[in-house]
Each structure stands twice: as C-alpha cells, then as structure tokens.
Amino acid sequence: MSNAETHLARIRAGEITLQHVPRKEKTHALCVAAVHMNGRDIINVPSHLRSKAVCYAAVYQNPMAIKAVPLAILQDEPGILELALGRNGTLLKWAAETEGVTALLTERMCEKAVNSHGRSLQHVPPQLRTREMVRNAIIRDGALLMLLEGKESLVGDLIEQIHIKHLPDQFKTEKRCLAQVKEQGRLLRYVPLRVMTEEIIEAALQSNPWAIEYVPATFADSAPVKAAIRRGGFPEKLLKNLALQVAG
C-alpha cells in the first residue's frame, strides 16, 4: 500500500487528520476525503489545493469552515457562503463584519441565516432587511424583541401583527391582547394575569366559547363567564375544569 493509500485509509478511519500528513504528500483527493470527515481540517489544506470541491465539502460538513475559504472562491462561488449561513445563522455576524465578504451578502442569504438563527437579524445589513424577515424572526424567537429595544425602526408596526402567543409577556398590553382575542378567542391562554380584564374575557368568549378553558380562576365568577355559561356552546368538561380551578 502506497503512502497516499495509507494516509487515505487512516483519515477515513478517523485515526489522523491532514495535520499529520507531510505537505508534499497531500493530494487533492486526500484533502477532499479529509474535509468530508472534519470540515475544520480545511485549515490544513494547502492554499493551492483549496478548490471549490474542497470548500463545498468542508462547509457542508462544518459551516464554521467558511472562515477558511479563500475570498476569491467565495466571490466566484457565493453558493458556498449561502450554504454556510443556512446551516449556521450565527455566522452572519462574521460575514457582516468581514471585509470582502459583506459585499457578497444577498437578501436570500440573510433570510436563510435568520431562519437558522433568529437573533442574527441584528447583523442583517439595513438595505437587505425585509419586513417578512423581521416578522419571521420574531415568531421564531419572541425574546429577540428584548434585544431590539431602542431600535423601534427595525420593528416598526410589525409587533401589532405578531400573535401574543409569540410575544414575551412584557410586550403584551391590555389593548394588544383585547384586539387579538376578539379575532381568536383561544388566544386568551396567552394573556398574562397582569393585563387580564373582564372586557378581554368577554371578547374571547364571544369569539370562541371554548376559550372558557383558559379563564383564570380569579375570574371564574365574573359576569362574562356567567353569561357564557348561560349561552352554552362548549363541552361540559370545560365547566368542570373551571370548577376545579375555583376549588383549587
């Protein structure tokens, strides 16, 4: 067995990395095999062997390998950058701060990064940020709003379009909760007790009688609940659950 075959067998067995192969014995095939096993082994690939094939294989195995991909290759094959950002959205911060790479960013790349990691929205260049991108990021991670406090221009009126289901409690106001339960009564389950009112409960029960399941025990004897019970329209078991809440 030749040295090349021995190195290849040992790399595929996970016994060694390219770091342990003498430079003059490194071949393109050996480098491709190595980064297939460990993407970060790209740092041990000689510059003249860092082909598109090697870079794609490395980034596919480990997105962090993108940091070792030559800029010239990224410029010629931006799909490698898109692959990395789609697999690990946290890399958008690096891309947005790295000279030469920032210019390669597209709206599609940023969308993929944000879909992978919502908080990477903070690093999307303003000219590439879209309302849909912001909306989807907040839906995936409502806590993102806390990171965006003081950056109202970034959120705008989108917060009014986000279900209270996806909002942290501190962003739930009485007005916002009332408006949403009028449309979808069972969103009552996401209304915090600090802003709960009989008006909100009445609106929720008018929208969907089954929302009675989410009435807090402290409001079990309220006028809206009594009116809903008289109207009926929901399973008896929900009344039993409400009775248990009060008893508890």
pTM for the model: 0.67
105 contacts: CB under 8 Å, gap ≥ 6: 81, 95, 96, 125, 128
Write down the residue that tokens 């008289």 correspond to: 230
Residue 245 falls in which region: left (phi positive, over 0), alpha (psi -120 to 50) or beta: alpha
Q: What are phi and psi of 169, to 5 degrees?
A: -55, -35
Q: Could you give the C-alpha distances from 33 to 8, 17, 20, 66, 186, in angstroms and in order? A: 7, 10, 14, 17, 54
Locate 227 and state its tokens: 């009116």
- In order along its 248 residues, the chain shows pLDDT tens digits of 577 788 888 888 888 889 889 999 899 999 999 999 999 999 999 999 999 999 999 999 999 999 999 999 999 999 999 999 999 999 999 999 999 999 999 999 999 999 999 889 889 998 998 888 887 887 777 667 666 655 555 565 667 777 888 887 878 889 999 999 999 999 999 999 999 999 999 999 999 999 998 999 899 889 998 888 888 777 777 666 665 454 44
